[in-house]
Amino acid sequence: MVSHRRTSQQGQTTLAGVTVLSAALATAAALSAQPASADPAKHPVAGREAATSQVDKLYEQAERATEKYDGADARAKQLRDEVATLQDRTARAQERVNRMRGRLGALAAAQYRDGGLDPTLKLMLSERPDSYLEKASALDRLSNAQAGRLHELRAAQRSLEQQRRETVRKLAELEAGRKDVARHKKDVQRKLAAARRLLNALPRDAREAYARASRSDGRGEVVPDLGGAVPASGRAAAAVAAVRAAVGSPYAWGSSGPSAFDCSGLTQWAYGRAGVWLPRTSQAQRGAGRQVPLSQAQPGDLVIYRSDASHVGMYVGNGHVVHAPYPGARVRYDPVAMMPISAVTRP
């Protein structure tokens, strides 16, 4: 992808950001001037450049859709847990109501055997005893013990109804979340399928040239000189060790390890290995710590890219990050200024 390809290492983020932005504008102009279906045979240079530029654009769009999928999927998982908890609480509340009504039923049976059922107790056993309790004049007919039981039963029934309503609401949210997951998944799949079609339509030498340009450090797995930078903390050091161990693993959208990753899945997994929980998406990871200037970045810091925070990598020292670039590529080292940076976060 254009925005992921290795640039010459620069210490000035602003200059790199302007260069990448200019390239993006040029790509947009080329796409508007050249239809995606341009025949490379008729326009061997312009057609191939337009096709590869659109592949880059589709990969970027797929990554944005992937982050939306990851967010929707994480929310759906959270809702499933909340629904399970609510269902358990509802069942417990129902059991409590049943036990209380059972105790009152036993008292009623005893009174009936002794010659008749007290009308007060009969009302206490009704489906809606609160309608009786709410009549102030009726309270005079209750003993203190009976009034206490009735108050307790009414509170238990109200709690049960509240649990039921909350469960119904969460189930509706869960269903909506499942639809969001499915929609974003289809969006990712459409973008990736379109990119594959464009690549497959290119001549073999053009596909190989694109593959070479998309790699860094030969195969993207050669360890650069990372200098003597010191991680910000012991947990940052553990996360850096984990992310470096993942270099060479394949990119897989929606994956968070241990054998394949998307961008935010990689950083979440690496910090998870260090015993630190990170949110699932790059947008949420931007706010998962303290913001620091790029000039003060230390190994373990999260580098968030693009204005919409749709990509993330981990700084590992000496102007390099490790990240999961895009489908078809592997986890690799790249210069920190490979694309516009929107934030640097220290978890």
The set of catalytic residues is 263, 311, 323
In degrees and rounded to multiples of 5, residue 251 shows phi and psi of -80, 135
Structural tokens at position 322: 């490790």
- Bridge-based pairing of strands 341-346 and 290-291 is antiparallel
Helix axes 204-214, 46-113, angle to 10 degrees: 60
Strand ordering across the sheet containing 341-346:
290-291, 341-346, 302-305, 311-317, 320-323, 332-335
Longest dimension (CA), the chain: 104
- Bridge-based pairing of strands 332-335 and 290-291 is unpaired
Upper half-sphere CA count for residue 200 (Cβ side, 13 Å): 6
Helix axes 46-113, 144-201, angle to 10 degrees: 160
N-to-C CA span, the chain: 28
Beta bridge partners of 2: none
**Nearest C-alpha neighbor of 203 from the set 49, 48, 56:** 48
Distance CA 302, CA 320 (A): 12
Distance CA 186, CA 205 (A): 31
Who contacts 59 (Cβ-Cβ below 8 Å, separation ≥6)?
1, 4, 191, 192, 195, 326, 327
Distance CA 34, CA 48 (A): 11
212 and 291 in contact (C-beta within 8 Å)? no
